[in-house]
């Protein structure tokens, strides 16, 4: 208590000294004080304007022999965003494969065990040694070009935690409203209008919604996704010819 009273007394003395000093400066030069006040107001206005600006969305480039795929990472899924950026900056993905490709569905990569994997070698079970908590956001869904995190199935993973590194990019297909109606009845969940619009125009994979974390989307290079999805595949949907990637953060 004595320490608190002492601190309060020191603060009062300092505050009083500052107050009188300010009055003295104002008395000796009012124009200087006004200029300082104007500068302070300008700084406050700049800070307020900066705070009002939307948070910058990070871009990442996935380079392949078929071309580049530029993805935008969502700020609404910060753990997945930051983890993907960290791995990309470390070069974790470089030299790994798109090891699972299904035409009309998706292309999947991010397994470190796929790097230098021999022909026919089974891949798809590797990762960085950790998983991420699910970050489901209603406005982020499996439209064509969506970037999402792979994971183990519900039985082994009831919390639906994401793989620490494996991801997929949705190719999907377009749906008729009647098909979406059937999906609603099957799942017992309403498909919102915005999702219906996307699935009946650009396409996607609606049956994966709200089960896998969508944390980004392709902003350039959808044609590259289509080309990769169309390659010849063998056992476990692995492309017969390796498709390696290099992932870099766009500053």
**What is the value of pTM for the model shown?**
0.80
3-state secondary structure of 40: helix
- Count the helix, strand and coil residues of the chain and give each as a percent rounded to the nearest 5: 40, 20, 40
Structurally, what CATH architecture does the domain formed by 59-250 represent?
Beta Barrel (2.40)
Residue-wise pLDDT tens for the chain (251 aa)? 444 434 443 444 333 433 333 333 344 444 556 667 676 776 776 666 555 556 889 999 999 999 999 999 999 999 999 999 999 999 999 999 999 999 999 999 999 999 999 998 999 999 999 999 999 999 999 999 999 999 999 999 999 999 999 999 999 999 999 999 999 999 999 999 999 999 999 999 999 999 999 999 999 999 999 999 999 999 999 999 999 999 999 98
Would you say 136 and 148 are in contact if contact means Cβ atoms under 8 Å apart?
Answer: no
Pairwise CA distance, residues 163 & 83, whole Å: 11
Burial status of residue 18 (CB atoms within 10 A of its CB: 0-12, 13-18, 19 or more): exposed
Would you say 139 and 76 are in contact if contact means Cβ atoms under 8 Å apart?
Answer: yes
């Amino acid at each position: 208590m004595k320490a608190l009273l002492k601190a309060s007394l020191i603060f009062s003395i300092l505050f009083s000294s500052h107050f009188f000093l300010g009055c003295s400066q104002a008395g000796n030069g009012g124009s200087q004080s006004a200029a300082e006040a104007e500068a302070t107001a300008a700084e406050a206005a700049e800070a307020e304007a900066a705070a009002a600006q939307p948070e910058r969305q990070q871009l990442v480039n996935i380079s392949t022999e078929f071309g580049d795929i530029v993805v935008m990472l969502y700020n609404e899924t910060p753990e997945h965003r930051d983890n993907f950026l960290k791995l990309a900056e470390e070069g974790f993905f470089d030299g790994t494969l798109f090891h699972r490709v299904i035409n009309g569905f998706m292309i999947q990569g991010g397994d470190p065990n796929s790097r230098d994997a021999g022909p026919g070698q089974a891949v798809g079970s590797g990762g960085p040694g950790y998983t991420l908590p699910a970050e489901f956001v209603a406005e982020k869904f499996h439209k064509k070009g969506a970037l999402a995190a792979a994971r183990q199935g519900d039985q082994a993973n009831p919390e639906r935690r994401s793989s620490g590194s494996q991801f997929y990019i949705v190719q999907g297909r377009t749906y008729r409203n009647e098909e979406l109606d059937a999906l609603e009845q099957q799942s017992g969940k309403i498909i919102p209008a915005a999702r219906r619009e996307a699935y009946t125009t650009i396409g996607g994979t609606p049956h994966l919604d709200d089960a896998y974390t969508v944390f980004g989307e392709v902003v350039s290079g959808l044609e590259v996704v289509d080309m990769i999805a169309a390659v010849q595949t063998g056992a476990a949907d692995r492309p017969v010819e390796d498709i390696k990637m290099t992932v870099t953060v766009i500053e």
